[in-house]
Chain A
Amino acid sequence: MATGTSADKARRAHPVRQAAKAGRIPWALGLPATVAAVLAVLPLGYLAVRALEHGPRYAWDIVATERTAVLLGRSIGLAAVVVAVCLVLGVSLAWLTTRTALPWADGWAVLVTLPLAVPSYVAAFAWLSAAPQLAGFSGAALSLTLVSFPYVHLPVAAALRGTDPAQEEAARSLGLGPVRTFWRVTLPQLRPAAAGGSVLVALYVFSDFGAVSLMRYDTFTRGIYTSYRASFDRTPAAALSVVLVALTVALVAAEARTRGRAAYTRTGTGTARPADRAPLGKWALPSLSWCGAVTAAAVVFPLGTLGYWLAAGDSATWDPARLAETAWATLGVAAAGAALTTVLALPIGVIAARHRGRVAHLLEQAAYAGHALPGITIALSLVFFAVRYAHPLYQELPLLVGAYAVLFLPVAVAATRAAVLQAPPVLEDVARSLGRGPWRVLREVTVPLAAPGVAAGAALTFVVCMKELPATLLLRPTGMDTLATRLWTETGVGSFAAAAPYAAALILLAAIPSYLLGRHRT
Chain B
Amino acid sequence: MTELRIEGLSKAYGPDAPNVLDGLDLTVPGGALAAVLGPSGCGKTTLLRIIAGFLRADAGSVTVGGRVLTGPGVHLPPERRRIGIVPQEGALFPHLSVGRNVAFGLTGLDRTARRRRTETMLDLVGLAGYGERMPHELSGGQQQRIALARALAPQPALVLLDEPFNALDSALRAGVRADVRSALRLSGATAVLVTHDQQEALSTADLVAVVRDGRVVQCDTPQQVYQHPADPWVAGFVGDAVLLPATADNGKAVTALGTIPLVKGEAPATGTALLRPEQLQLTDAASAAAGGTVTDVRYFGHDAMVTVAVDGLDEPVDVRAVGPLAVQPGQRTRIRVRGEALLHA
Contacts and interface: CB of A to CB of B under 8 A. Distances in A.
Interface of A: 1-4, 8, 11-12, 15-16, 18, 23, 267-271, 424, 426-427, 429-438, 445, 448-449
A346 B93 CA distance: 20
A398 to B, nearest CB: 33
B94 A430 contact: no
A364 to B, nearest CB: 22
B210 to A, nearest CB: 19
B90 A269 contact: yes
A267 B49 CA distance: 18
A435 B79 contact: yes
B268 to A, nearest CB: 36
Contact of A432 (B13, B77, B150): B77
23 contacts: A1-B18, A2-B17, A4-B14, A12-B14, A15-B20, A18-B49, A18-B54, A23-B56, A269-B89, A269-B143, A424-B91, A426-B88, A426-B91, A429-B52, A432-B54, A432-B77, A433-B81, A433-B83, A433-B84, A433-B85, A435-B80, A435-B82, A436-B107
A432 B79 contact: yes
A8 B17 contact: yes
A150 B60 CA distance: 53
Nearest to B20: A15
Contacts of A429: 52, 54, 78, 85, 87
- Minimum-distance CB pairs A-B, first 7: A434-B105, A432-B78, A2-B16, A433-B85, A426-B91, A426-B87, A448-B95
Nearest to B104: A434
B151 interface: yes
B298 interface: no
B151 to A, nearest CB: 7
A4 B16 contact: yes
Contacts of A8: 13-14, 17
A434 B150 contact: yes
A422 to B, nearest CB: 11
Given A426-B87, A435-B154, A449-B94, A271 B77 contact: no
Secondary structure class of chain B's binding surface, majority of residues: loop
B145 to A, nearest CB: 14
Counting contact residues on chain B (CB < 8 A from A), the size range is 35 or more
Contacts of B151: 433-434
A216 B5 CA distance: 74
Contacts of A11: 13
A170 B281 CA distance: 46
Given A269-B89, A269-B90, A435 B105 contact: yes
Contacts of A1: 16-18
Nearest to A424: B91
B95 A449 contact: yes
A2 B18 CA distance: 9
Nearest to B16: A2
A157 B104 CA distance: 34
A429 B91 CA distance: 10
Contacts of A3: 16
A16 B89 CA distance: 14
B227 to A, nearest CB: 32
B46 interface: yes
Contacts of B80: 435
Contact of A433 (B20, B78, B89, B94): B78
A23 B83 contact: no
Contacts of A448: 95
Nearest to A441: B79
Contacts of A438: 77
Contacts of A435: 79-80, 82, 105, 107, 154
Interface in B70-120: 77-85, 87-95, 104-105, 107
B91 A430 contact: yes
B330 to A, nearest CB: 39
